């Protein structure tokens, strides 16, 4: 799958303000929590998307991407690869600017769907690592 250049990543991180984190846990031991906390501490607004929790990182959780009002810059996904096509469709519906599947997560069907709809797509890469590499 196409990987973005460092300059594309840097531009994304400089322009983004809101990150919806699909599958964000309220357990501080989970990778999703740790990565989202780092991005929150870097100044991004985090929107937890998880029907199993009420809140995390001081933010109220929503059941799905479709419940978010306002612009979403990045949809950051911590769900298994087989769920990506459904999440991709929601990402397109809310007109998010970027779909980001974390390290170890990818799906060709979702990738094609997102690219066909003009949404920047990053898969199988850690947003925290890329942020640190391009911004720090």
Q: Are 92 and 119 in contact (CB under 8 A)?
A: yes
Q: Give the DSSP H/E element, type plus range, for residue 109.
A: helix 108-116
Question: What are the pLDDT digits (tens) for 6-35?
Answer: 899 999 999 999 999 999 999 999 999 999
Q: Is 100 left (phi over 0), alpha (psi -120 to 50) or beta?
A: beta
The pTM of this model reads 0.96
Say how far apart CA 57 and CA 35 lie, in whole Å.
11
Edge-to-edge strands, sheet with 98-101: 45-49, 18-22, 74-77, 98-101, 120-122
For the chain, the structural domain boundaries read 6-135
How many CA within 13 A on the CB side of residue 34?
A: 7
Q: Are 69 and 78 in contact (CB under 8 A)?
A: no
Q: Are 24 and 49 in contact (CB under 8 A)?
A: yes
Q: Are 131 and 39 in contact (CB under 8 A)?
A: yes
Domain 6-135 has CATH 3.40.50.720: yes
Place of tokens 């009420």: 54
Question: What are the pLDDT digits (tens) for 67-121?
Answer: 999 999 999 999 999 999 999 999 999 999 999 999 999 999 999 999 999 999 9
């Amino acid at each position: 799958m196409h990987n973005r250049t460092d300059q594309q990543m840097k531009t994304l991180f400089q322009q983004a303000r809101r990150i919806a984190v699909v599958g964000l846990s309220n357990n501080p031991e989970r990778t999703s929590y740790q990565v989202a906390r780092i991005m929150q501490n870097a100044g991004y607004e985090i929107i937890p998307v998880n029907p199993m929790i009420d809140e995390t990182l001081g933010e109220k959780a929503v059941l799905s991407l479709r419940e978010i009002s306002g612009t979403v810059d990045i949809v950051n996904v911590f769900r298994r690869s087989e769920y990506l096509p459904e999440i991709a469709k929601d990402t397109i519906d809310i007109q998010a600017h970027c779909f980001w599947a974390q390290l170890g997560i990818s799906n060709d069907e979702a990738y094609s769907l997102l690219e066909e709809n003009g949404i920047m797509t990053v898969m199988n890469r850690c947003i925290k690592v890329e942020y640190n590499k391009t911004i720090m």
